[in-house]
Chain A
Amino acid sequence: MGNKTPLYDTHVAAGGKMVDFGGWDMPLNYGSQLEEHHVVRQDAGMFDVSHMTVVDVAGAEAKAFLRNLLANDIAKLTVSGKALYGCMLKADGGVIDDLITYYLDETHYRLVVNAATRDKDIAWIQAQAGRFDVTVTERPELAMIAIQGPNARAKVNGLLSPETAAAADALKVFFAAIDGEWFIARTGYTGEDGYEIILPDRDAVDFWNRLVAAGVRPCGLGARDTLRLEAGMNLYGSDMDEGTSPWSTGLAWTVAMDPADRDFIGRAALEAEKAAGVAMKRVGLVLEGKGVLRNHQRVVAEGVGEGEITSGGFSPTLGVGIALARVPKATGERCQVDVRGKLLDCRVVTPPFVRNGKSCL
């Protein structure tokens, strides 16, 4: 038996097909993954993401600590509630995890890290924190619900107090509003507008049920994966891990090399890798014919070399096979993928594939 979120019984009662995910019993779907995918693109769906780990970092040196810990520069954050996405690296540049950092004030930050990497993340953060005047506090008593889709924010706002709804409605993308123990962020992992709401465990079931009553459909991890793949967003453990650096995994935009005197963990390795020449790049693939692309399939760029699909699947919105792949830098606009021994033609594109309900191809 795995860990259970406060919504476990609610998922089972709703017919959720429960599977293990990073040590947690989570709903894969509640019947049809495709229908759940489409409802997020067209209306509003929600995901229990309470398995994700919330870590609060506080103290006089919180900013200095996070500027050393993370490859993106949290000094960019100066407004309460502002969020920044980035990576936590090993000294050799490998990605320990990707995470979102929220700025609360100059001495308080909130991190949201992946569930499957929780133990190693906490151990790493604690170990690095030793040199700084900070406290690192995990918040296992908090649940998290992501409500996503073109109608998601309006449906959520209708359930909030007038003051909180006004604050949430005014949020710009990648900002959060704080209301007591509730934390409402205009973020997501689907390519649609919406919120990710952190709230106390004891409030989770009631709020979930009120969302259902407001017409927000429960969606499982299956739809979450096809949605994020269409949105061109990396999945830790598939598209990057400790053996890959941000340079070859489409995450260069999350690395702040300026200012040059900021010494973050992994910086020297990234500089050396760049100086030597990065061999691979992250691209999107679109299968030209019928079929489905899958993780680990071999990519062949004729005359250039070979790569590998890091996340493959079927795009319910586009009706074609799509993938994220790591391929040789010189790969052009076309390549082939080895699907069960047959080389199938693919178009090489820059992700995302779908954003705000519309094809980007």
Chain B
Amino acid sequence: MSNLPAELKYTASHEWIRDEGDGTVTIGITDHAQELLGDLVYVELPDVGRELDAEEACAVVESVKAASDVYAPIAGEVVAVNEALSDSPEMINSDAYGDGWLIKMKVEDGALDDLIDVDAYQAVLDDEG
């Protein structure tokens, strides 16, 4: 069973979003996503300062198996990226919701309102079977 923290928001494309309460959010890929990908070996992250549209491809995570795009769940400005993943992409496998975070974004108030919660994401996973 995948690990699904209840306090996070999610997308149907398997990103998670944590509201940091200061106008910024932290984004990563879910435990389910890293399980599907297998061992991560390379991560390509956006430049800090880049303005992203919602659903814009903004990062690439590559495992031994495949390359997968990561999409910005909401619009905003990239304010930080997880530089440590450059040397240790396997942190996504070992700690998808913690050390394996990908980017931090500055977003508008209310930007998270349309994202799905843990129950809705669980339903997405159940549908995928």
Kindly identify which residue among A290, A291, A314, A340 contacts B64, using a CB–CB cutoff of 8 Å.
Answer: A314
Contact with A along B48-77 (1 / 0, CB 8 A): 000000000000101011010000000000
The answer to whether B86 touches A33, judged by C-beta atoms less than 8 angstroms apart, is no
Closest A residue, CB atoms, query B90: A34
Residues of B within 8 A of A28 (CB): 38, 65
Binds A, one of B39-47, B107-115, B119-127: B39-47
| Residue contact A292 to B62, C-beta cutoff 8 Å | yes
Q: How many CB-defined contacts (below 8 Å) exist between A and B?
A: 37
Q: Does A226 contact B (CB under 8 A)?
A: yes
> Out of A29, A294, A313, which one reaches B38, CB within 8 Å?
A29
A185 to chain B, nearest CB (A): 28
Pick from B38, B39, B44, B65: contact of A291, CB under 8 Å: B44
Pick the residue among A29, A290, A292, A321 that contacts B86 (CB under 8 A): A290
- Residue of B60, B64, B67 touching A34 (CB-CB under 8 A): B64
In the complex, which residues of chain B have a beta carbon less than 8 angstroms from the beta carbon of A34? 39, 41, 64, 90
Closest to B41 in A: A314
Per the 8 Å Cβ criterion, residues 7-23 of B in contact with A are none
A209 within 8 A of B: no
Instruction: Name the interface size band of chain B.
Output: 10 to 19
Which chain B residues border A137 with CB–CB below 8 Å? none
Tell me if A188 is interfacial: C-beta within 8 Å of chain B.
Answer: no
Query: Residue of B at shortest CB range from A319?
Result: B41
Shortest Cβ distance from A225 into B: residue: B64
B94–chain A nearest beta-carbon distance, Å: 10
B residues less than 8 Å from A313 (CB atoms): 64
Contact of A314 among B44, B60, B62, B86 (CB under 8 A): B62
- Chain B residues contacting A292 (CB-CB under 8 Å) are 41-42, 62, 67
Known contacts A33-B64, A292-B67, A222 near B44 by CB under 8 Å = no
Of chain B, the residue at the smallest CB distance from A19 is: B65
If A290-B42, A291-B62 are given as contacts, then 10 extra A-B residue pairs at C-beta distance below 8 Å, sorted by A number, are: A28-B65, A29-B38, A33-B38, A33-B65, A222-B38, A222-B65, A226-B64, A291-B42, A314-B62, A314-B64
- 22 pairs across A/B with beta carbons < 8 Å? A28-B38, A28-B65, A29-B38, A32-B38, A32-B39, A33-B38, A33-B39, A33-B65, A34-B64, A34-B90, A222-B64, A226-B64, A290-B42, A291-B42, A291-B44, A292-B42, A292-B67, A314-B64, A316-B41, A321-B42, A340-B60, A340-B67
Interface positions of A (Cβ within 8 A of B)? 28-29, 32-34, 222, 226, 290-292, 294, 313-314, 316, 321, 340
Tell me the B residues contacting A by CB distance below 8 Å.
38-39, 41-42, 44, 60, 62, 64-65, 67, 86, 90
